[in-house]
Structure 1
Amino acid sequence: MTFTKKLREPIMRGEITCSVRIWRSPRVKLGGRYRLGEGAVEVTALRQIELSDITPQLARDSGFDGVVDLLKTAKHGAGEKVYLVGFEYRPDTTF
């Protein structure tokens, strides 16, 4: 799971704990760990949502200024299914 550069530090500080992704199918799994900095994000929740479920508040919680800003990043490629991924940053995770 990769994140835009502007989101990495806030994620590592624990300020961002969710991400909206538009994929053909899930690209992460519940409990999966994905490297970020010196640690990793661990997926704690994964569910499919509708595009209409993306509110301005959810966009801000995901680290974006608003829905349009989020969609510019999330909607790139052939994916059509919208997923809400919850995660926690684990600074001391070893691989």
Structure 2
Amino acid sequence: MLFKAKVLEGIARGEVTLAFRRWSRPAVRPGGTLRTAAGVLAIDSVERVDLAAVSDADIRAAGHASREDLVRGLRPDGDLYRIGFHVAGRDPREDLRENDTLGAAEIADLRSRLETLDRAAAWTGAVLSMIAERDGRTAAEMAERLGMEKPALKRKVRQLKELGLTESLAAGYRLSPRGRALVGAIRQGT
């Protein structure tokens, strides 16, 4: 589930505790978690609802000013689901990204993981280098330089983000402190 920046701010403040989505089948389950820029969300409930039965209080709890505002943000097709959640804590990738003290074992592990990602086609080195050249490098720029489709490149960058190597900006990406440390170690031949 993706959230707009305004809604993420409300989640972080504890004001937004619901979401409404139209799906052919639910994309989240009660008891599951979801990582967002506002932290890890614990999914408390997922229930199919009728739009007419959605209360004004629920609309506000989802970060919308009105029913019309809610409807504008929904996909046109699929069943309507009401998702209840609460912030369960910080995204563990935040601490991982900040760890820029990499020992030989961590560097070897990360290099091995990058090699695994490169099995079908080598891309990790080129993407990390492009992001290292300039903060804010966009997926569109990198995809064009690599001759890839933008959605495919974005999926690849998310894999680097899972390793704590990159961070998303409002527009584009940058290397995290951990990513800078790894790129520095690779350039030094470590």
Identity %: 28
Higher normalized contact order (CA 8 Å, seq sep 6+, divided by chain length) = 1
Q: Which 10-residue stretch deviates more, 53-62 or 7-16? A: 53-62
Length, aligned pairs only: 93
Residue correspondence of structure 1 range 1-95 to structure 2 within 5 A = 1-37=1-37, 39-74=39-74, 76-79=75-78, 81-94=79-92
Find runs of 4+ consecutive structure 1 residues off by over 3 angstroms.
none
Instruction: Using structure 2 for the length normalisation, give the TM-score.
Output: 0.45
Greater radius of gyration (CA)? 2
In structure 2, relative to structure 1, the CA distance for the partners of 1:69 and 1:38 (3 Å cut) is closer
Hey, which of these two has a bigger chunk of strand by percent? Answer: 1
Q: Is the 1:12–1:91 contact (alpha carbons within 8 Å) kept by the matching residues of 2? A: no
Gaps of 5+ in 1: none
Report the CA distance between 1:3 and its aligned residue: 0.7
Give the match's secondary structure for 1:70.
Answer: helix
Distance 1:38 1:66 in 2: 23
Hey, which of these two has a bigger chunk of helix by percent? Answer: 2
Q: Deviations over 1:18-50 (max 9, x none)?
A: 111111110111111111126211101111111
Gaps of 5+ in 2: 94-190
Instruction: Using structure 1 for the length normalisation, give the TM-score.
Output: 0.86
